Amino acid sequence: MNRRALAVCAGLLVAMPFVAGEYYINLASQILIAALFALSLNLLVGYGGLTSLGHAAYMGVAAYVSGWLFLKFGFGHLASAPLALLVTTLMAAVFGLIALRASGIGFLMITLALGQVLWGLAFRWVTVTNGDNGLSGLTRPMPFGIDLNGANAFYFFTLIIFAASMVCIVAFANSAFGSVLRGTRDQPRRMLALGHNVWLVRYLTFISAGFWAAVSGLLFVYYHKFIHPQALGLTNSAETLLMVIAGGSGTLIGPIVGAAIVVLLKNYVSAFVERWTMLLGFVFLFIVLFMPDGVVPGVQRLWARLTGKGRAPQRGQP
């Protein structure tokens, strides 16, 4: 994406709260949180070619740790946030050791199983997680004494965190390491022959994906001031994977567009009927059958053909 488009988007995002109503500002916050989460998953799915169906675990654990530290020990956010990030990242480091014994569909199955194990734990370990009731009565942080309980203030807080994370993720994807990562996705054997440690590259990516998911998990719990085992469930993992794939995996804009589509669809549909799960299933089928590349690469290709210039952007994940 070129600089002008980027500046326009940034301008729109900053101007949003001054024109839109509170409902839409909150919706925008949700989209940003979901987009950051999708971007973290995209590191694995899009750049690493490792499709995970247990990514909600990292978001959920970060949220639970933050909430639990507050409720149990009365930790402030300044202490609980770094601890939650640390615990989640360590967990990703352990899970990565297990899941990366396989790749492809084996990896998907193991991440799904690990994710469901944590979901079950959140439901059953009532003494810590409060089971099906979830952890409620949580608060939002007050950075520099600013109250974030208003929709506008929280939106800007989310936007700042999102932008900072986005810069880091873009730097990650465009770095030499990012190129090596894409290499391991497309030609793992060749990369191995070239002397790259394919396993280590994947492992480090796995950990960073866990870290960024944890960041989005903190935003998630700050937004809702509540956390329920559902946040760790397969549906959440699948929704996020859908954001990545529907938007276009392996692109930077794709997951953001996907997040916007899925969150808007979910909010719109839930206002009328309770059949979101079924619709999610149908959208999955539709995307997989008719739009396997996702929206963003499709539009980019179309644009390249229309203007007749520039090479067609590379397909992300085959």
Partner 1 sequence: MFDKPLAFWLIQSLNSFSLGGLLFLLSAGFSLIFGLMRIANLSHGAYFMLGAYIGLSALRAGFGFVMAMLLAGLAVAILGGLIERFVIRRLSSNPLGQVLATLGISFIIADGCLLYWTGDPQQLATPELLRGVFRVGEAVFPKYRVAVIGIACLFAIGLWLLLEKTRIGAMIRAGVDDMEMARGVGIPVSMLFTAVFCLGSFLAGVGGVLGGPILSVYPGLDTDMLPLALVVVILGGVGSLVGAFVGSFIIGFVYTFGQTLIPDLAYMILFLPMILVLALRPRGLFGRISA
- For partner 1, which stretch binds (CB under 8 A), given 56-64, 70-78, 276-284, 299-307? 276-284
| Span 85-104, contacts to partner 1 by CB under 8 A | 98, 101-102, 104
What does the alpha-carbon distance between residue 83 and residue 89 come to, in Å, rounded to a whole number?
Answer: 10
User: Minimum distance from CB of 235 to partner 1 (Å)?
Assistant: 7
**Based on CB atoms, which residue is closest to partner 1, 175 or 277?**
277
Q: Which of 164, 213, 175, 185 is nearest to 56 (CA)?
A: 213
Identity (one letter) of the amino acid at 215? V
| Residues in contact with partner 1, shown as a per-residue x/- string from 105 to 134 under the rule CB under 8 A | xx-xxx-xxx-xxx-xx--xxxx-------
- Residue 45 is classified by DSSP as I
User: Minimum distance from CB of 208 to partner 1 (Å)?
Assistant: 22
238 near partner 1, judged by CB under 8 A: yes
**Based on CB atoms, which residue is closest to partner 1, 118 or 262?**
118
Which tokens sit at 171? Answer: 């730097």
289 near partner 1, judged by CB under 8 A: yes
What does the alpha-carbon distance between residue 23 and residue 51 come to, in Å, rounded to a whole number?
Answer: 34
* Burial of 223 from C-beta contacts in 10 A (0-12 / 13-18 / 19+): buried
Q: b/e per residue, 46-83, with b = 16+ CB within 10 A?
A: bbbbbbbbbbbbbbbbbbbbbbbbbeeeebebeebbee
Q: By the criterion CB under 8 A, which residues form the site for partner 1?
A: 51, 53, 98, 101-102, 104-106, 108-110, 112-114, 116-118, 120-121, 124-127, 233-235, 238, 241, 245, 275, 277-278, 280-285, 288-289, 292, 317-318
